[in-house]
Amino acid sequence: MWRPAEASYAGFVEHLGTAGVFPSYLPWPMSPGWAVTDFGVVGSGPGQVSATMTCCSGTSELDGPVDVLVVTEEPGTGLGARCAGTSALDPGAEIGDGPATVKVRLDHQAVGLWPVSTSAATGEWDRSVVAGEARGRWLWLVLRPASAILLLRDDWILRDVSALGPGLVETAFGGPRPSW
């Protein structure tokens, strides 16, 4: 896994170059006061990317400090599970069972996300995890604290920022990395 030493605009440009055509999703537009605090790419070389991860952090009125990790990955990669703190590589059989708990927009497509249990995970139960399928890949959202899942009741938009260009210049980068 490639991850920069710190979250910066220059590091994110390197991230996008390493990811190539593999999407890097962020909530877009980001709320004022929020910043990109972490990102990474899993792959074995150019054109061999199997996952990307981004994290943005900020505050909400109800939750205080919040981290939102977005992972998109090929099945069997396990980055989403690592960020979520689960033991299985993929989300699980409950994905797609019944109506989606939340939906996010990915460009013009509504993507259903279902809860992923972290009850068997080691460590704290300090997060909410939802996952679903988007464009043939797993899409995971890991939110800390757990109550931040309520932020998703609003119409959240995820955007592949790899083609955003100049809009990224005004994006805030930096701050403490989330633990995962």
Asked if residue 25 lies in contact with residue 158, where contact means CB atoms within 8 angstroms, the answer is: yes
pLDDT of 125 reads 67
Per-domain residue ranges of the chain: 9-170
pLDDT digits (tens, 9 = 90+) for 1-39: 999 999 999 999 999 999 999 999 999 989 899 999 999
pLDDT at 162 over 70: yes
Residue 172's H or E segment, with its range, is none
**What does the alpha-carbon distance between residue 90 and residue 75 come to, in Å, rounded to a whole number?**
6
Residue 123's pLDDT is: 61
CB-based contacts of 159: which residues, under 8 Å, 6+ apart?
A: 25, 26, 27, 28, 106, 107
Nearest-angstrom CA–CA distance, 63 and 6: 25
Question: Tens of pLDDT along 134-152?
Answer: 999 999 999 999 999 998 8
- Percent pLDDT > 90 in the chain is 69
Which amino acid appears at position 165 of this protein? G
Of 87-101, 103-117, 119-133, the poorest mean pLDDT is in 119-133
Q: What value does the mean pLDDT take over residues 150-168?
A: 85
Q: Is the pLDDT of residue 126 over 80?
A: yes
In angstroms, rounded to a whole number, what is the distance separating the alpha carbons of residues 161 and 174?
17
> What pLDDT is attached to residue 71?
98
Q: pTM of the prediction?
A: 0.94
DSSP string over 106-149: ETTEEEEEEE---TT-SS----EEEEEEETTEEEEEEEESGGGG
pLDDT band with cut points at 50, 70 and 90 for residue 121: low
Percent of the chain with pLDDT over 70: 96
